[in-house]
């Protein structure tokens, strides 16, 4: 399958299943998907992001070679929310290499403090920071302050996740 030509711009359950079945844990096939993911800012990139999430849930080892590139990609301006959302979603469940902790922490705090950022991006970002507080306890106070400051003004989803994190902190 030539994924670049066959990846649709619109979501279809049948196409999605066919692509997942084709990737089937293959590093080579996943590499094709990731090249599309990183190639610009189009509907195909967003669709590739959705497929990436499913693959990461099914075959988490496929993400390892792309962790640095995923994190560095978040530094690009003008990324579509779907790219940011799916990237931070996948990063909340993986072991991030230590040399990238500072970069991802800065990115996630920026997302968390941006009033115009989508709620899902904020929620996944707070989870990444919370995960890092286990290694860097000095982040706890800053995270706690930001969450408590925003809590009264946010959605139910934000309040739910923030409440769980605050109880743990």
Q: What is the rounded CA–CA span in Å between residue 50 and residue 72?
A: 19
pLDDT confidence of residue 111: 97
Pair 112, 126: CB distance under 8 Å: yes
Query: According to DSSP H, which parts of 39-155 are helical?
Result: 43-58, 67-73, 81-91, 101-113, 119-133, 139-150
Q: Which helix (H) or strand (E) holds 161?
A: helix 156-168
What 3 state SS string does 7-59 have? CCCCCCHHHHHHHHHHHCCCHHHHHHHHHHHHCCCCHHHHHHHHHHHHHHHHC
Dihedral, CA of residue 21, residue 25, residue 69 and residue 77, to nearest 10: 20
Cβ neighbors of 91 (< 8 A, separation 6 or more) are 67, 70, 71, 104, 124, 128
Cβ neighbors of 62 (< 8 A, separation 6 or more) are 23, 25, 27, 30, 55, 56
Tens of pLDDT along the chain (169 residues) come to: 777 766 766 667 888 888 999 999 999 999 999 999 998 767 888 889 989 999 999 999 999 999 999 999 999 988 999 999 999 999 999 999 999 999 999 999 999 999 999 999 999 999 999 999 999 999 999 999 999 999 998 999 999 999 999 999 8
Q: What is the rounded CA–CA span in Å between residue 51 and residue 46?
A: 9
């Amino acid at each position: 399958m030539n994924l670049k030509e066959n990846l649709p711009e619109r979501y279809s359950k049948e196409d999605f299943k066919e692509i997942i079945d084709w990737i089937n844990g293959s590093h080579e096939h996943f590499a094709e998907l990731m090249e599309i993911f990183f190639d610009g800012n189009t509907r195909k990139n967003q669709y590739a992001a959705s497929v990436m999430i499913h693959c990461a849930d099914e075959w988490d080892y496929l993400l390892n070679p792309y962790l640095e590139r995923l994190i560095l990609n978040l530094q690009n301006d003008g990324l579509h929310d779907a790219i940011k959302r799916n990237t931070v979603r996948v990063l909340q469940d993986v072991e991030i290499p230590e040399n990238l902790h500072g970069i991802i922490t800065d990115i996630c705090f920026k997302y968390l403090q941006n009033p115009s950022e989508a709620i899902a991006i904020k929620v996944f970002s707070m989870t990444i920071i919370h995960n890092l507080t286990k290694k860097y306890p000095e982040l706890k106070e800053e995270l706690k302050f930001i969450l408590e400051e925003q809590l009264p003004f946010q959605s139910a989803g934000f309040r739910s996740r923030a409440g769980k994190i605050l109880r743990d902190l």
